[in-house]
Amino acid sequence: MSSTVKKSAEQEFRDAFDRLKKGKTIRLPLGAAVTQNNVAREAGRDPSALKKDRYPLLILEVQAYITSKSEQKRSSKRTTDNRARTDKQKIADYRKQIDRLSSIVAAQNSTIEELLDEIERLKAGRVSRF
């Protein structure tokens, strides 16, 4: 005797959502994007059947998953962009930093010299007053 248990529509949507996340779809092409419409299609249902008023928690889970994946992609892209910089670009950036810092050091040295001259003038003025 085989007993067949009929799944609820929500369970079918959840199973479809899990398959999409794992990339192991049955009805959609492998690697299909996780979207609300694709969850419904993978469950073998019309996209209009997956409504927020019927399955609010499931919809929130799908939306949270989509948001989290898009943030991960953005973060990954930034990391890849940083790694892709060539050695020549890095050297050019370092040279710009050296030039900027050298300019700051030169300006500080100039200020120090002016202050030392002022100190000497003030010392000379005091000595001559006594």
Those residues whose C-beta lies under 8 Å from the C-beta of residue 61, and which sit 6 or more positions away, are 17
Q: Rounded to whole angstroms, how far apart are CA atoms 80 and 74?
A: 10
Residue-wise pLDDT tens for the chain (130 aa)?
A: 445 567 899 999 999 999 999 999 999 999 899 999 999 999 999 999 999 899 999 999 999 999 998 888 887 777 666 666 788 888 888 999 998 888 888 899 999 999 999 999 999 887 544 4
In the block, which residue shows the tokens 């073998």?
A: 44
CA Rg value for the chain: 34
